[in-house]
């Protein structure tokens, strides 16, 4: 993809809240299609979104959204970006029609046209006759639909959705995911979907960005991540895995050191695994766990979760 085709470009962006590093040296490119932004709680997803919307000032680095600089053109960015926040945002006394019409008017449409647009968007979002009731009476699913409608009423080029399926039942979740797909595939919008729900990303995303402790851990296409992993075992050791890996190599076993305490045995033959157990005994290495290798998206996400669990006990 050429540079000018990227809708979002961040270079070396960091954001500190006092001593807390919410984003560290983030370099990111987001193009068309649906990009999943995955990360455990506290990873920096919301901060990243606020940076893109110009709602917080960055501590270092620079970035462009839709050709506008994030530090200088926040208003212009917000006119072209739709944002569905995680938290509720509705005016309790207004109906969905009134709320979305208000959104349309704020974006510059005159009264009748704004009303027409509100109905069109609410049809798309699946709010039926309840659209005439006060929003205060809505279920969580209805409130999510209303938030979604508000995010797209002004026909933005880029739509940022923060946990759009959170709290939805399975049918509502399916409907929300297919609506997001229509938005991207039929209407050509770029979508950034922030979530900690891996299956949502696997279901509809083209690209995946994993954040952990403010850093981009991985940014890749889902297609390349979903290629089935070669059959292998992951062997987690209590101490350093190197002595066991060295021993295994001398025995001709297909091993590879993944990190200080994990090695991979590239086979699904249990007899070779058994030999590795013997090697552990001979080298005095304690094996903590053995599991079949997973595809890399799940693996990296699990590692990110593990890392943050240790960081935020």
Residues that bind ligand ATP (CB under 6 A): 17, 20, 22, 39, 41-47, 196
Shortest CB 139 distance to ligand ATP, Å:
23
Q: How far apart are CA 188 and CA 69, in angstroms?
A: 23
DSSP-derived pairing of the beta strands 8-17 and 60-65: antiparallel
Shortest CB 114 distance to ligand ATP, Å:
32
Shortest CB 239 distance to ligand ATP, Å:
31
Q: Which uninterrupted H or E stretch holds 224?
A: helix 222-225
Q: How far apart are CA 196 and CA 21, in angstroms?
A: 20
Rg of the chain's alpha carbons, rounded to an integer? 24
In the complex with ligand ATP, which residue's Cβ is closer, 44 or 279?
44
In the complex with ligand ATP, which residue's Cβ is closer, 41 or 251?
41
Q: Report DSSP state, residue 157.
A: S
In the complex with ligand ATP, which residue's Cβ is closer, 114 or 161?
161
Shortest CB 74 distance to ligand ATP, Å:
17
**Angle at Cα 49 formed by Cα 8 and Cα 80, nearest 5°?**
55
Shortest CB 39 distance to ligand ATP, Å:
5
Please name the residue that has the structure tokens 């669990």.
Answer: 309
Asked if 265 and 293 count as a contact pair (C-beta separation under 8 A), the reply is no
Please list the residues that pair with 62 across neighbouring strands: 11
**Overall size of the chain counted in residues:** 313
In the complex with ligand ATP, which residue's Cβ is closer, 70 or 253?
70
């Amino acid at each position: 993809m050429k540079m000018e085709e990227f809708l979002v470009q961040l270079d070396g962006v960091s954001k500190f809240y006092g001593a807390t590093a919410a984003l560290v040296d983030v370099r990111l490119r987001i193009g068309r299609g649906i990009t999943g932004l995955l990360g455990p709680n506290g990873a920096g997803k919301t901060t990243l979104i606020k940076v893109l919307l110009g709602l917080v000032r960055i501590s270092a680095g620079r970035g462009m959204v839709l050709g506008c600089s994030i530090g200088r053109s926040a208003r212009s960015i917000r006119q072209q970006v739709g944002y569905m926040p995680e938290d509720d945002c509705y005016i309790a006394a207004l109906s969905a029609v009134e709320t979305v019409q208000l959104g349309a008017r704020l974006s510059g449409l005159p009264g009748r046209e704004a009303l027409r647009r509100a109905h069109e968007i609410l049809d798309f979002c699946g709010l039926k006759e309840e659209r005439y009731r006060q929003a205060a009476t809505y279920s969580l699913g209805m409130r999510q639909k209303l938030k979604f409608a508000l995010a797209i009423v002004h026909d933005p080029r880029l739509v940022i959705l923060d946990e759009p399926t959170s709290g939805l039942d399975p049918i509502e979740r399916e409907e929300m995911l297919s609506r997001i797909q229509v938005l991207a595939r039929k209407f050509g919008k770029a979508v950034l979907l922030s979530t900690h729900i891996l299956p949502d990303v696997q279901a509809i995303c083209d690209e995946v960005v994993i954040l952990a402790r403010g850093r981009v851990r991985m940014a890749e296409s889902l297609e390349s991540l979903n290629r089935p992993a070669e059959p292998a075992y992951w062997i987690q050791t209590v101490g350093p895995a190197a002595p066991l890996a060295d021993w295994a190599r001398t025995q001709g076993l297909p091993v590879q050191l993944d990190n200080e305490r994990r090695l991979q045995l590239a086979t699904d033959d249990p007899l070779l695994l058994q030999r590795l157990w013997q090697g552990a005994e001979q080298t005095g290495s304690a094996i903590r766990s053995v599991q079949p290798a997973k595809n890399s998206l799940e693996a990296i996400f699990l590692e990110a979760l593990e890392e943050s669990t240790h960081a935020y006990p």
